[in-house]
A and B are shown apart, each in its own frame.
Chain A
Amino acid sequence: MNYQSFFKHATGFSPYHYQCKLACGPNASADDAKSLTSHNQCRSLLINIPTGLGKTAAVVIAWLWNRLTQPEVSKPKPQIPNPESKTPDNNALSIIWPRRLVYCLPMRTLVEQTAEEVSKWLRNLRDAAISGQLDLAESALAELLWLAGTDGLSESQIQKFKSQIHAELGGPHSPIILMGGEELDPSRRDWDLYPEKPAILIGTQDMLLSRALNRGYAMSRYRWPIHFALLNNDCLWVMDETQLMGVGLETSAQLDAFRCALSTFNACPTWWMSATLEEKRLETIDHPRPANGWPTVSLSEPDFQMPDVKGRLYAAKPIKRAEISLSSETRNSYAAQLARFVINHHKNDTLTLVVLNRVNRAQKIYEEIKKLKPDAQLALIHSRFRPPDRQAHEAVLHAKGSRIVIATQAVEAGVDVSACTLITELAPWSSLVQRFGRCNRRGEFKDGKAAIFFVDLKADDNEELAVPYMAEELARARAALEKLQDAGPHSLKSIQIDEPSAIRPVLRRKDIVELFDTTPDMAGYDLDISRYIRDGEDTDVQIFWRDCGNDPNQPLQPEPVADELCRVSLPRFREFLSKLEKSGDKNNQEKITAFRWNPLDEKWQPATTAQAGGTYMLDTNAGGYSPELGWLGADNLGQKVVSLAPKQITQESGYASDPDTFAHVWVTLQDHTRAVVEETSRLIQSLAPEFAPTFLAAARWHDLGKAHEAFQKMLRGNDPARAALLWAKSANPGGRCERRYFRHELASALAWLQVGPADTPERDLVAYLIAAHHGKVRLSIRSFPGEEPPSDKPDIRIARGIMDGDTLPPDAFVAIGVPPPPEPVALSLEPMEMGQSKTGEPSWLARTLALRDRFHPFRLAWLETLLRAADARASKLASSASVSPAMELREDATASSLSPEERALIDEVVADGLSIQDKFRPEPLYKKTGRGHYQSSTVDEINRARKTRKKEDDQ
């Protein structure tokens, strides 16, 4: 097997030469089969390839090739280095290919298209491997089956490869799409619980960069550190269509530099890709240009000789100025004029693509064309749609036959369509080049059939017409177009326009270090990272609609799913909110307002202003949206919007809540601790065995704090029969702790510091891992607003529901498997004070800052994530333990269906049984088999006894 066959199995096509070099090294060639069996080093580089020449396949298949086929013997096990040492420079050679491929795109329209292609390639490779056409080692096959899942495989195929298939989740685990909103597919939703598994993540720069900065948009703030860890360690980042990323490009360069300087688990390089790559912008203050430049992959002479490449590079695209233009004088009639121009130049049975610079202009022209030609197959493409509505339009874009598609810059990058006629508004040169790429893409329209028209924008006198661009940018592009008669890639090669450098905010090292702390400031706000993700005003919020009236807390509205969310520009949403408020006043009606989730108070509250990256709920009567046109804002105020709330829902997470605690099953503290210790042990052995003693201690102590009486009362609810045991999880539907903001993990961490074994390596790290295992107690411990000590003890310290002197019983220590203290342990909140304690012990903050500075933010977050993953996985196993309906015990249903006579009978039998129970072994006798039932050692014992008895009888 070589790369050519691997690539062909995946995509159906043979690779270009540059694709072979990317996968197999600089000496590889598509004509030299021997060179296609090697593997490349993994390091940061640039990929400068024209549009339409398979960049996506190049990077994804190269990553798969190196992950799956690199011989085990040459793949050293990644070690976590000593805190003081650094991982290799991302530009140095690394032969360990990262587990996660993080594919970053500037817009949502590309994300779904890319995800579809990746799914197809994974399935193709899986099918080829299963049928024996691809020869993969067992571990590689296991990775591929994890990625591609078992959907579509026959039962016999699944049985044949059962040892490689993960027992619990059969669905594909990749690609994972990060676009905001709850992921409903369970096999992909929990990707972040499997740091040891491969994954392909595809998302927008908003979603991915915000997570890389520890402030993930559209996700629970308590999971921020997990995504921060997994996207800054053991990843290969691919920044595609960088010309559209704005400041996101500079941020990615700075992150690349920080990952080297602050070190990561395994290398974490970045590939930057574009047809119009601006290398200069990667030269940021902490990311200087290397002496010999960055390694670059581009087309070489052998590529230029390939018929496919030739066809694309030399495709004929005659270009002319359109007779109409947009100016102050024509703005009122512009939509109608342009609509007529489009209809007049549209050719039957082909695609005409019209690209406008603004969403509202695109919407107006769409409506005008619809009026003039109601029978036309028409579509509108922009980024301000909810996904199902956008997909309906995109289906027309990708259909066959006569179509007219009105679009914005959303089609500039990577969208795989080829129009016969392209009509585009004037735009900056790099944008125009991308738009030209959507016309006659493969050179399939011959003899001058393809045509490009550009519509001038007379913005020199009226800069508002240039928005979202600058009038100077348009002037430079206009000057270049005056000289141009053909806009094919070959003709464009000679045109070079130097855009002046924009001044953009630059993420600095101290910023990324400070972002490690996720505690909001005293006013409840977080560090605003939007200026590092999108340029200036180009920032978005996400909106969804529900039938909630003016009180979304009665009933409590759950978090949105991805399909409900519409991205809206921040300035336009603010304008909408302002008009919404005024419309309520004007009509003397009850005001409709937007709502934002408050995780501390665990409720939706009115949002009077909007912040970049925020998610806001509107009542359906607020309007502002049309399924056909997308976001209309104030133009559609008060027009009812159909809610897309799904049936399957998850409640928003709050500070005090613990969704895993009310897990539909009773699990003792003893059992849960044992399960987490086992899961942690497995995970640590594969990722960081040097830290085993530290992690095993943290796993054992992590839930000790659940033995606090307030927490146990919450779990038990009104069932005093449960008081005999200490519980970790409850089958009750839910409950509130009597101590506001109570966090059991703080109690666990304090107990560890006070009485945990002194000889455990990295004691402070153990304490931190315990405290941070739900993401709610991390660098600092301080009281929340509203947390007051009881009136009879006004001077007592209180934080996160824990008070000085609260006790944990000796039984709790027995339950977690450690020698119990002679008396209950009284917790001390002394570590929350600043400075050293009276006995010279450092404060909590001093300890955690020292950890952060010693391990550095990326690696400390990664260590934190490992225990969280183990805990969550153990909890999932417990709650899904009894499986087949026939075997389901249905505790609650059983208890409630009993008659009084039956209850009396049970009481009598149980009383008898308990009176003699001490005569039998107390420890649990059952072992999980993972096959939906438990293996009973008692039954085994009985069977052995029977066999022995039979043998004796026979003798």
Chain B
Amino acid sequence: MKRAWLAPFTWPVIVETNRRLCQPKGALHAPTSDGYEPPRRNNKPRSQTL
């Protein structure tokens, strides 16, 4: 079954989730060399199987 399972995870949701997960461990919440741009570009709702 194909659905846009990740549609609710908009980019602002992902960023805010990341920020709150970084906090308790004191991780610096900032762009990394290859951990930011590629996901941001690819973050488009699309139908997928689970």
Tell me whether B2 is interfacial, beta carbon within 8 Å: no
Q: List B contacts of A905 (CB < 8 A).
A: 8-9, 13
CB-nearest residue of chain B to A891? B19
A902 near B: Cβ within 8 Å?
yes
How distant is B32 from chain A, measured CB to nearest CB, in Å?
4
| B26 x A668 contact (CB < 8 A) | yes
Contact B26 A881 (CB under 8 A): no
Contact A898 B29 (CB under 8 A): no
A914 part of interface (Cβ distance < 8 Å): yes
A924 at the interface (CB under 8 A from B): yes
Q: Which residues of A contact B26 (CB under 8 A)?
A: 668, 670-671, 725, 922, 924
B12-A898 in contact (CB<8A) = yes
- Find out whether the CB atom of B31 lies under 8 angstroms from the CB atom of A933: yes
Residue A588, interface by CB 8 Å: no
Q: Determine whether the beta carbon of A933 is less than 8 Å from that of B32.
A: yes
Given contacts A910-B20, A914-B24, contact A934 B31 (CB under 8 A): yes
A922, B25: Cα distance in complex, Å: 5
Does B47 count as interface, using CB distance less than 8 angstroms? no
Q: Does B43 contact A (CB under 8 A)?
A: no
Contacting residues of chain A (155-198) with chain B, CB-CB under 8 angstroms: none
Instruction: Note all chain A residues with C-beta closer than 8 A to B17.
Output: 906, 909-910, 913
Decide if A936 is an interface residue (CB 8 Å cutoff): yes
B28 in the interface (beta carbon within 8 A): yes
Residue pair B13, A882 in contact (C-beta under 8 Å):
no
A924 and B23 form a contact (CB under 8 A): no
A935 with B21: in contact, given A889-B15, A902-B13, A906-B16 (CB under 8 Å)?
no
Q: Is B5 an interface residue (CB 8 A)?
A: no
Q: Which residues of B contact A668 (CB under 8 A)?
A: 26
CB distance from A320 to the nearest CB of B (A): 75
Please indicate the chain B residues that have their CB under 8 angstroms from the CB of A724 in the complex.
Answer: 23-24
Q: Is the CB of B24 within 8 A of A933?
A: no
Q: Cβ of A913: which chain B residues have Cβ within 8 Å of it?
A: 17, 21
**With a CB–CB cut-off of 8 A, which chain A residues contact B9?**
905
The answer to whether A936 touches B32 (Cβ under 8 A) is yes
Q: Is A685 an interface residue (CB 8 A)?
A: no
By the criterion CB–CB under 8 Å, are B20 and A936 in contact? no
Binary A-proximity of B1-44 (CB < 8 A = 1, otherwise 0)? 00000001110110111011101111111111111110000000
Closest B residue to A902 by beta carbon equals B13
Contact: B31 with A882, CB < 8 Å?
Answer: yes
Contact of A887 among B21, B23, B25, B37 (CB under 8 A): B37
Cβ contacts under 8 Å, A721 to chain B? 20, 23
A: residues with CB less than 8 A from B are 666-668, 670-671, 721-722, 724-725, 881-882, 886-887, 889, 891, 894-895, 897-898, 901-902, 905-906, 909-910, 913-914, 917, 922-926, 929, 932-936, 938-939
**Measured between alpha carbons, how far is A901 from B49 in the docked complex, in Å?**
24
B2 to chain A, nearest CB (A): 21
Q: How far is the CB of B18 from the nearest CB of chain A, in Å?
A: 9
Residues of B contacting A725 in the complex (Cβ-Cβ under 8 angstroms)? 23-24, 26
Query: Complex formed: what's the CA distance from A935 to B33 in Å?
Result: 5
Asked if A936 and B21 sit within 8 Å, CB to CB, the answer is: no
Please tell me if the beta carbons of B20 and A934 are within 8 angstroms of each other in the complex. no
- Verify A926–B30 contact, CB threshold 8 A: yes
Residue of B8, B12, B15, B28 touching A671 (CB-CB under 8 A): B28
Closest 4 CB pairs of A and B: A936-B32, A887-B31, A922-B25, A668-B26
Please name all residues of chain A whose beta carbon is closer than 8 Å to the beta carbon of B29 when the two chains form the complex: 666, 889, 891
Q: Nearest A residue to B32 by beta-carbon distance?
A: A936
Q: Which residues of B contact A886 (CB under 8 A)?
A: 37
With A671-B28, A933-B31, A934-B33 in contact, is A917–B23 under 8 Å at CB?
no
**B17 CB to nearest A CB, Å:** 5
Q: Please list 22 pairs of residues, one from A and one from B, whose beta carbons are closer than 8 Å in the complex, sorted by A's number.
A: A724-B23, A882-B30, A886-B37, A887-B37, A889-B15, A889-B19, A894-B12, A897-B12, A902-B16, A906-B16, A910-B20, A914-B24, A926-B30, A926-B32, A932-B31, A933-B33, A934-B31, A936-B32, A936-B34, A936-B35, A939-B32, A939-B35
Contacts of B30 in A (CB 8 A): 881-882, 889, 926, 933-934
Question: Quick one: given A882-B31, A929-B33, A934-B33, are A895 and B24 in contact (CB under 8 Å)?
Answer: no
Which chain B residue shows the least CB distance to A883? B31
* Interfacial chain B residues near A891, Cβ < 8 Å: 15, 19, 29
Contacts of B10 in A (CB 8 A): 902
Give the shortest distance, in Å, between B10 (CB) and chain A (any CB).
7
Question: What is the CB-to-nearest-CB distance from A667 to chain B, in angstroms, rounded to a whole number?
Answer: 8
Residues of B within 8 A of A909 (CB): 17
Question: A724-B24, A924-B26 given as contacts; is B31 within 8 A of A898 (CB)?
Answer: no
Candidate in A721, A906, A924, A929 with the most chain B CB atoms within 10 angstroms: A906
Q: How far is the CA of A668 from the CA of B26 in the complex (A)?
A: 6
> Are A933 and B16 within 8 A (Cβ)?
no
Complex Cα distance, B28 from A923, in Å, reads 10
Per the bound structure, the CA–CA distance linking A917 and B24 in Å amounts to 9
Q: How far is the CB of B27 from chain A (nearest CB, A)?
A: 5
A722 → chain B closest CB, angstroms = 7
Known interface pairs A902-B8, A929-B33; A917-B13 also in contact (CB < 8 Å): no
Known pairs A670-B26, A902-B12, A910-B21. 19 more at Cβ < 8 A? A671-B26, A671-B28, A721-B20, A724-B23, A881-B28, A887-B31, A889-B29, A891-B19, A897-B12, A902-B16, A905-B9, A917-B21, A923-B25, A924-B25, A934-B28, A934-B33, A935-B32, A936-B32, A936-B34
Residue from the list A897, A906, A925 in contact with B20, Cβ < 8 A: A906
Rounded to whole angstroms, the CA-CA distance of A861 and B33 in the bound complex is 41
* A894 to B17 alpha-carbon distance, docked (Å): 11
Contacts of A932 in B (CB 8 A): 31
Chain A residue nearest to B24 (CB atoms) is A724
* Contact B27 A887, beta carbon cutoff 8 Å: no
Q: How far is the CA of A929 from the CA of B28 in the complex (A)?
A: 14
Please indicate the chain A residues that have their CB under 8 angstroms from the CB of B32 in the complex: 926, 933-936, 939
Query: In the bound complex, what is the Cα–Cα distance between A452 and B31 (angstroms)?
Result: 70
Chain A residues within 8 Å of B20, by CB: 721, 906, 910
What residues of A have a CB within 8 angstroms of the CB of B16 in the complex? 894-895, 898, 902, 906
- Cβ of B25: which chain A residues have Cβ within 8 Å of it? 917, 922-924
Smallest beta-carbon distance B43→chain A, Å: 13
Q: How far is the CB of B14 from chain A (nearest CB, A)?
A: 9
Tell me the minimal C-beta distance from B5 to chain A in angstroms.
13
